Amino acid sequence: MENAGAQKCALILVKYQQLIVEAITYVVDTDIPINNQNYLPNFQRPQVPLSSIQELPQALINYVWRTQKFQVLDDATTEAKWVNYSYFTQQQPKSILCTPIINQGKLIGIIYLENNLTTGAFTSERLQLLEMITTQAAISLENAFMYETLEQKVEQRTQQLNQKNQRLTQTLEELKRTQTQLIQTEKMSSLGQLVAGVAHEINNPVNFIYGNLKYTQEYAQDLLNVIQVYQQNYPEPVDEVTNIIKEVELDFLVEDLPKLLTSMKVGTDRIKKIVKSLRNFSRLDESQVKNVDIHEGIDSTFMILQNNLKAKPNELEIKVVKNYGNLPKVRCYPGELNQVFMNMISNAVDALELIRNENNNCSPQITITTDREAEKFVIIRIADNGMGMSEAVQKRIFDPFYTTKEVGKGTGLGLAISYQIIVERHGGKLECISTPGKGTEFVISIPL
Ligand SMILES: Nc1ncnc2c1ncn2[C@@H]1O[C@H](COP(=O)(O)OP(=O)(O)OP(=O)(O)O)[C@@H](O)[C@H]1O
Ligand SMILES: [Mg+2]
């Protein structure tokens, strides 16, 4: 600018078919000499369209853009062509040079220089020098612009790629979930069908035995009465009768038969309960929302798993503690909720395996607590005093196919499915609180 003898200097670039003012420099006169010079350059980078900058002669610059020819005015205010031009009448500039920056025949920008102190400031020497500078500048600018566009493009592409990546991850997650659902639905529906089928088959003969047991008890009592009356009226029976009384141990039989029949009744009662639990658990007929007693579902699940809780050689029995609160009937998918109880209690049984085997003072226990929260939720806590989980394991337990169990023992689907059932199907919450070596508690909340 100093070389060109200018006081105002602007660099305007053509970007997206528009003139954009990239930079303006003014020379402000000052009394304080800086680097032995009495002016202070003021540099600005507005980077806005030329049409919004009033400090530049827009008409003149547009003219240079259109014609691609430079304009040198020795005294702008007296120049015939621009005599009524408002910018010149207001600003009163003297010497003006407006030159296009051309690279390979294409106008890429304009340099505007203005001096309002002296006329004829832009001599042919200065013009030559400027021409040289603008040619160099043109190449650098074109490169810079290309680089900028390239950078923008790279950024755009990176963004697009990121978006695609995200979408892919989402799709993969969805696929995994669908797969989980399919496998579990298949597993549960075949298990459910099997259970329901067996329950049905057992139900008929059990009812048959149960119904007849009452009469058997009555008939047996009648027969015993008859014997008693006989004995009273014929206290001295013939030898044959005495012998057979001895042989069958009549006294013992009379005493034992009612007990035997009572225990048969207790047994059939239990079978009936188990059958009821099996049917309750499979709930094949109830794939719709129903108002049910949650405690019934939990009880049936324990009934089904009873064999897993019982003491075995070298294994302690798992104690079950039920702290049932006063719950209303809950609107839910009963069959699905039972699946959740099944998954949780099975996990608790697995987690207690170590304690059961070791001969220590700790007794393996599963505690079920139910409660109501602010009339809005039903809370079911399923806790065990088993091995617990590390934080790293806890973070992944709801991931489909995540298991720490040996191959063939766990599929890693139990909790993933339980989460779906509670959170997605029932709009509830499922939380896990666990301390390694101490135990685990799952808290299920179902909205009322
Ligand atoms: N009560 C618990 N105590 C300790 N760890 C548990 C408990 N419940 C779950 N886990 C951990 O969470 C993991 C995932 O459980 P999840 O029920 O989803 O699958 P799994 O039991 O391994 O297999 P399955 O599909 O047969 O249920 C288990 O492998 C176990 O590491
Ligand atoms: Mg499990």
In a domain, 261, yes or no: yes
Say if residue 301 is in the same domain as residue 421. Answer: yes
Say if residue 383 is in the same domain as residue 308. Answer: yes
- The CATH number given to whatever domain includes residue 34 is 3.30.450.40
**Single residue among 259, 282, 305 that ends a domain in this structure:** 282
* DSSP one-letter string for 210-273: HHHHHHHHHHHHHHHHHHHHHHHH-SS--HHHHHHHHHTTHHHHHHHHHHHHHHHHHHHHHHHH
Q: Ligand 1 in contact with 133 (CB < 6 A)?
A: no
Question: Which residue has the least CA distance to atom 28 on ligand 1?
Answer: 403
Q: What is the pLDDT of residue 5?
A: 56
**Single residue among 263, 282, 301 that ends a domain in this structure:** 282
Q: What is the mean pLDDT of residues 240-261?
A: 91
Q: Ligand 1 in contact with 402 (CB < 6 A)?
A: yes
Token digits of residue 174: 């969805």
Per-residue pLDDT tens over the stretch 296-335: 999 988 988 888 898 888 888 999 999 999 999 999 988 8
**Residue range of the domain that includes 266:** 191-282
Residue 147, pLDDT > 80, answer: yes
Q: What is the pLDDT of residue 39?
A: 46
* Most ligand 1 atoms within 8 A of CB, residue of 308, 343, 382, 397 to mutate: 397
Q: 10 Å Cβ neighbour count for 214?
A: 11
Q: Ligand 1 in contact with 367 (CB < 6 A)?
A: no
Per-residue pLDDT tens over the stretch 364-377: 999 999 999 888 89
- The CATH number given to whatever domain includes residue 292 is 3.30.565.10
Give the ranges where 283-317 is alpha helix by DSSP (H): 294-309
Q: 10 Å Cβ neighbour count for 112?
A: 23
Say if residue 447 is in the same domain as residue 334. Answer: yes
Q: What is the mean pLDDT of residues 242-265?
A: 91
* Most ligand 1 atoms within 8 A of CB, residue of 188, 393, 403, 442 to mutate: 403
Say if residue 241 is in the same domain as residue 369. Answer: no
| pLDDT-based confidence at residue 181 (cuts at 50, 70, 90) | confident
Say if residue 239 is in the same domain as residue 291. Answer: no
Query: What percent of the chain is modeled with pLDDT above 70?
Result: 91
CA distances from 368 to 298, 348, 379, 382, 435 (A): 9, 11, 10, 5, 18
Token digits of residue 201: 């088959």
Per-residue pLDDT tens over the stretch 362-415: 789 999 999 998 888 999 999 999 999 999 999 999 887 789 998 778 778 789
Say if residue 236 is in the same domain as residue 350. Answer: no
In a domain, 330, yes or no: yes
Atom number in ligand 1 closest to CA 442:
1
Token digits of residue 217: 């008890």
Q: How far apart are CA 250 and CA 248, in angstroms?
A: 5
Q: What is the pLDDT of residue 367?
A: 97
In a domain, 122, yes or no: yes
Say if residue 330 is in the same domain as residue 268. Answer: no
Say if residue 30 is in the same domain as residue 132. Answer: yes
Atom number in ligand 1 closest to CA 415:
18
Atom number in ligand 1 closest to CA 402:
14
Q: Ligand 1 in contact with 405 (CB < 6 A)?
A: yes
Q: What is the pLDDT of residue 130?
A: 81
Q: What is the pLDDT of residue 146?
A: 81
Average pLDDT, the chain: 85
Q: What is the pLDDT of residue 38?
A: 45
Q: What is the pLDDT of residue 293?
A: 92
Q: How far apart are CA 383 and CA 14, in angstroms?
A: 72
Q: What is the pLDDT of residue 243?
A: 93
Number of domains the chain is built from:
3
Q: What is the mean pLDDT of residues 341-352?
A: 93
Q: What is the mean pLDDT of residues 196-218?
A: 87
In a domain, 323, yes or no: yes
Say if residue 21 is in the same domain as residue 92. Answer: yes
In a domain, 173, yes or no: no
Say if residue 201 is in the same domain as residue 265. Answer: yes
Q: What is the pLDDT of residue 37?
A: 45
Say if residue 210 is in the same domain as residue 275. Answer: yes
In a domain, 133, yes or no: yes
In a domain, 185, yes or no: no
Residue 34, pLDDT > 70, answer: no
* Most ligand 1 atoms within 8 A of CB, residue of 347, 354, 422, 443 to mutate: 347
**Single residue among 85, 117, 150 that ends a domain in this structure:** 150
Say if residue 220 is in the same domain as residue 302. Answer: no
Listed residue (78, 130, 77) closest to 102, CA to CA: 130
Question: Which residue has the least CA distance to atom 4 on ligand 1?
Answer: 388
Per-residue pLDDT tens over the stretch 73-119: 988 888 888 878 888 888 888 899 999 988 888 888 999 999 888 88
**Can you tell me whether residue 352 is helix, strand or coil?**
coil
